[in-house]
């Protein structure tokens, strides 16, 4: 699609090197946005630069490091109208009694704390720009207890709470905040079953209910709609983009 919904607008996209983040960055560039793409993988960002040219400015770094957030902000200015918090990692489907501290800490650091830190830094810019739109990527695991392990499920339910609270406080200041909750999407995310118990308990449920695996363009389109002025009256929504999985 070629349109100018994002003309003269800067949108920060995390996880822009792969999967849903990359699809979002590409669609935004096609719609004339100036994209700031952030990812921990330098090589993935290089490939995005090759595809998008001047439409993208990239920042390589781990978003759990404050220095990466600072570097993103150094490239942003009062034209930042959009923030798509997409970077995320899975757990190994661990049930509570099998959680390793390092898995818990890393999943929450990437999926939740990094999102909070970047959003906290960007909000004042959006307010001074006269408004903005933040879209967080939650998950089907943010809507139910049977789509991942406990660390990831916890992180995505927390993303929903973070989204609602941010919408509550900042919608009156012109900043909307929403989340999309994708079902299964074909990307590079690693999701190894590390628990026999989870395999036994989740396996049959997933086999019976899992919808078709979507292309990353599908959640990206929903993210872009929420970033755009077409969604000007939408704030505080957690939207399943999951082929109907949440309806089961």
Contact 69, 63 (CB under 8 A): yes
Q: Which of 18, 133, 139, 152 is catalytic?
A: 152
Contact yes or no for 63/111 (Cβ under 8 A): no
Size of site (CB under 6 A) for ligand NAD = 27
Q: Does 185 bind ligand NAD (CB under 6 A)?
A: yes
- According to DSSP, the β-strands at 80-85 and 10-14 are parallel
Contact between 114 and 87 under an 8 Å Cβ cutoff? The reply is yes
Q: Does 20 interact with ligand NAD (rule: CB under 6 A)?
A: yes
Candidates 6, 35, 37, 44: give the one binding ligand NAD (CB under 6 A): 44
**16 contact partners, CB below 8 Å, separation of at least 6:** 22, 24, 25, 35, 37, 38, 39, 45, 48, 56, 58, 86
Q: Which residue, 26 or 129, has its beta carbon nearer to ligand NAD?
A: 26
Only one residue has tokens 């989740």, namely 202
Q: Is 91 in the site for ligand NAD (CB under 6 A)?
A: no
HSE-CB at 183 with a 13 A cutoff on CA atoms is 18
Q: Does 21 bind ligand NAD (CB under 6 A)?
A: yes
Q: Is 152 a catalytic residue?
A: yes
CB closer to ligand NAD out of 129 and 226: 226
Instruction: Specify the DSSP class assigned to residue 173.
Output: G
Active site residue 170: no
Report which of 136, 146, 111, 135 is spatially closest to residue 245, judged by C-alpha positions.
Answer: 146
Do the Cβ atoms of 175 and 123 come closer than 8 Å?
Answer: yes
- Nearer to ligand NAD among residue 190 and residue 233 (C-beta): 190
Give yes or no for residue 189 binding ligand NAD (CB under 6 A): yes
- Binding ligand NAD (rule: CB under 6 A), the pick from 55, 72, 84, 87 is 87
Catalytic residue among 18, 133, 139, 156: 156
17 touching ligand NAD, by CB under 6 A: yes
Considering only 32, 64, 113, 146, the residue that binds ligand NAD (CB under 6 A) is 64
Catalytic residue list contains 138? yes
Tokens of 120: 């906290």
Does residue 139 belong to the site contacting ligand NAD (CB under 6 A)? Answer: yes
Closer CB to ligand NAD, 129 or 219, in the complex:
219
| Sign of torsion over alpha carbons 213, 82, 12, 164 | negative
Interaction between residue 89 and ligand NAD (CB under 6 A): yes
Does the protein bind ligand NAD through residue 15 (CB under 6 A)? yes
Sheet of strand 238-241, all strands in order from the earlier edge strand to the far edge: 56-60, 34-39, 10-14, 80-85, 132-137, 175-182, 238-241
C-alpha to C-alpha distance for 139 and 135, rounded to whole angstroms = 13
Q: Does 19 bind ligand NAD (CB under 6 A)?
A: yes
Chain positions contacting ligand NAD, by CB under 6 A: 15, 17-21, 39-41, 44, 62-64, 86-89, 110, 137, 139-140, 182, 184-185, 187-189
The residues annotated with a catalytic role in the active site are: 138, 152, 156
């Amino acid at each position: 699609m070629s349109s100018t919904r994002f003309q003269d607008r800067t949108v920060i996209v995390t996880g822009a090197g792969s999967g849903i983040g990359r699809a979002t960055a590409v669609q935004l560039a096609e719609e004339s946005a100036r994209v700031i793409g952030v990812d921990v993988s330098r090589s993935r960002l290089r490939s995005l630069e090759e595809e998008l040219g001047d439409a993208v400015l990239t920042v390589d770094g781990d978003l759990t490091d404050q220095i990466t957030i600072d570097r993103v902000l150094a490239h942003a200015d009062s034209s930042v109208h959009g923030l798509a918090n997409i970077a995320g990692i899975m757990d190994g489907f661990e049930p509570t009694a099998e959680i390793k501290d390092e898995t818990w800490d890393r999943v929450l650091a990437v999926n939740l704390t990094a999102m909070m830190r970047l959003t906290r830094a960007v909000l004042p810019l959006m307010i001074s720009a006269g408004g903005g739109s933040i879209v967080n990527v939650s998950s089907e695991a943010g809507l139910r207890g049977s789509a991942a392990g406990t660390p990831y499920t916890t992180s995505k339910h927390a993303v929903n709470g973070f989204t609602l609270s941010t919408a509550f406080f900042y919608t009156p200041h012109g900043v909307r905040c929403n989340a999309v909750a994708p079902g299964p999407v074909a990307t590079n995310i690693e999701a190894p079953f590390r628990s026999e118990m989870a395999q036994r308990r989740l396996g049959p449920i997933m086999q019976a209910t899992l919808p078709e695996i979507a292309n990353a363009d599908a959640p990206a389109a929903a993210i872009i709609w929420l970033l755009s002025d077409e969604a000007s009256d939408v704030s505080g929504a957690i939207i399943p983009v999951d082929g109907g999985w949440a309806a089961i």
